[in-house]
Structure 1
Amino acid sequence: MAKKRQNHPLPPCPATPNCVRTSHDFKAGMEKVFEKLTHIFEDEAHSFKVIDPKRIEIHAVYRIPIFHFKDDVDVIIEESGSKTTVYIRSASRLGAYDLGVNRRRVKRILRKLNSKISD
């Protein structure tokens, strides 16, 4: 589903398995991708804010229900020609292991985004 890029604008993940960073291209305009992504964050995230509306940089916070740990999700959306690239990074704030939560979250966000764009 996602392609890794060497020019990824988000910080690399640490050597621990509690972080995932990837990107995915969509055949849709940046405005549509941004709109659909904000709907996903409104439904799922504890909170989110648009950091830079020109570059379209978003920061969302997810809270793990049982332990109330917080995870950070950062997204940068860039448009190039007929494609829009979503760069995404999800990382736990505490601990070295997340039992795959961040990886599943990123896959779910990208799958939902793809589905919403296809509608």
Structure 2
Amino acid sequence: MPKISKKNPLPPCPVTPNCIRTSEQFGAGIEKVYEAFIKIFDNEAYRWEVVDPKRIELHAVYRIPVFGFKDDVDVIMEEDGGTTTVFIRSASRVGAYDLGVNHRRVKRILKKAASKI
């Protein structure tokens, strides 16, 4: 089993407030956490894909309903001893401000994942 990264492997956010990058640990194996995120993305995301199945890396695109702007959500999962760390980043593609949309989205995704695990 690979060791959990000390640092978040996702790209850092720009200085503009239209991005959030964080991590959260779940007391479950990676398979269960992966299944929870797949269900969430199936229900919410405009589209999503597995970027790297060996690393458990996912990419989802969310579309803002009114204007149709697209936001990118990237997730990398790592397991160590039955605990899975989820690294997540949500960022707007355009504009410098998102009115807190990305922060709320990540908070909602992590809350839903916790309830499914």
Percent of paired sites with the same residue:
69
| Deviation per residue, 1:68-101 (Å, 9 max, x gap) | 0000000000001121000000000000000000
Structure 1 gap ranges (5+): none
Partner SS for 1:36: helix
Distance 1:13 1:6 in 2: 18
Give the alignment of 1:1-119 within 5 angstroms. 7-117=7-117
5+ residue gaps, structure 2: none
Query: Displaced runs of 4+ in structure 1, greater than 4 A?
Result: none
CA distance in 1, matches of 2:52, 2:82: 22
Read off the aligned partner of 1:37 and give its amino acid letter. F
TM-score, scaled to structure 1: 0.93
How many pairs were matched up? 113
For residues 14 and 48 of structure 2, the distance between their equivalents in structure 1, rounded to whole angstroms, comes to 23
Aligned-partner residue type, residue 90 of structure 1: S
Find the aligned partners of 2:80 and 2:15 in 1 and give their Cα distance.
31
- The RMSD of aligned alpha carbons is 1.0
TM-score by length of 2: 0.95
